[in-house]
Amino acid sequence: MAHRFGFFDADCRELAENGRGLAYRLRVGPIVPQLKQLYALAEARAYPLVFTTCCSGRMLSPPGLPGIGFVPLDAADASWRATTGNFRQFYLAKHTCGQPKANFDCRAFDMFQYNANASRLLRELGVETWVVFGNGFDLCVGAAARGILQAGLELILLEDVRISSAGATSESEQRTFSTLRHLGARLMTLQSFMHLVNQP
């Protein structure tokens, strides 16, 4: 089944402390209202929603949570593909190297580098245009957007639904914007995107 849009949420949520659901990362507090608006839209329109968790956060472990498809790192593990049609939300497992500096040095934030099933999942979901937003703009959000574009898929980046990476500067963020534009990303505000969604 083809979908006009699919959402890619980079690192806004993690496993709740009680292990029974999802919680927002503390850093995303300023954009929680926008996130809730996007999640509600995805549910109302049955848009696929793929999400990751910060490699320093509480990650989901297999089999994940009820109602969420768990997509493992290992390409040899194809069990998830048999149940893709049963889910609208998908958790894309990320690699972790332990401490924050090690995670940065080994580029654990790059889910497309370490999850061998990531590109296949996006293709199998049949989405016309992926909409990317989230936490850690220069690193995690940027890696998600680059992975989608390099897979040959269309992408809208929500420039006002993002949290900066730790240590980011205005110059580094402008370089990230420039790189993603060069690769083919369309930059939009949430308001502009909502207007686009409601066009016939």
Per residue in 8-60, pLDDT (tens digit) is: 999 999 999 999 999 999 999 999 999 999 999 999 999 999 999 998 889 99
Select from 122, 124, 109 the least CA-distant residue to 165: 109
pLDDT at 1: 58
pLDDT at 199: 84
Q: Would you call 141 helix, strand, or coil by DSSP? A: helix
Residue 93's pLDDT band, with cuts at 50, 70 and 90, is very high
Question: Token pair of 111, please?
Answer: 């889910």
Question: At a CB cut-off of 8 Å and minimum separation 6, what does 39 contact?
Answer: 49
Beta strands at 22-24 and 49-52: parallel, antiparallel or unpaired:
unpaired
How does pLDDT run across 121-164, given as a tens digit for each residue? Answer: 999 999 999 999 999 999 999 999 999 999 999 999 999 999 99
C-alpha to C-alpha distance for 199 and 191, rounded to whole angstroms: 13
Q: What is the mean pLDDT of the chain?
A: 93
- Give me the domain span that covers residue 13: 8-197
Q: Flag whether 131 is in a domain.
A: yes
Answer yes or no: is pLDDT of 118 > 70. yes
What's the length of the chain?
200
Q: Flag whether 2 is in a domain.
A: no
Q: Flag whether 181 is in a domain.
A: yes
Beta strands at 13-15 and 22-24: parallel, antiparallel or unpaired:
antiparallel
C-alpha to C-alpha distance for 161 and 188, rounded to whole angstroms: 10
Q: Flag whether 124 is in a domain.
A: yes
Q: Flag whether 25 is in a domain.
A: yes
Question: Token pair of 199, please?
Answer: 């066009």
Domain of residue 132, CATH code: 3.40.50.850
Of 107 and 178, the structure prediction assigns the larger pLDDT to: 178
Q: Flag whether 59 is in a domain.
A: yes
Q: How far is CA 20 from CA 14, 15, 78, in A?
A: 11, 8, 25
pTM: 0.94
Select from 63, 67, 130, 123 the least CA-distant residue to 93: 63
Answer yes or no: is pLDDT of 106 > 90. no
- Burial of 43-79, coded b for 16+ CB within 10 Å and e otherwise, reads eeeebbbbbbbbbbbbbbeeebbeebbbbbeeeeeee
Number of domains comprising the chain = 1
pLDDT at 2: 84
pLDDT at 111: 87
pLDDT at 108: 66
Identify any residues that bridge with 15 across adjacent strands, giving them in sequence order. Answer: 22
Q: Flag whether 1 is in a domain.
A: no
Q: Flag whether 3 is in a domain.
A: no
Of 98 and 5, the structure prediction assigns the larger pLDDT to: 5
pLDDT at 107: 78
pLDDT at 20: 92
Say if residues 166 and 27 touch (Cβ distance below 8 Å): no
pLDDT at 96: 83
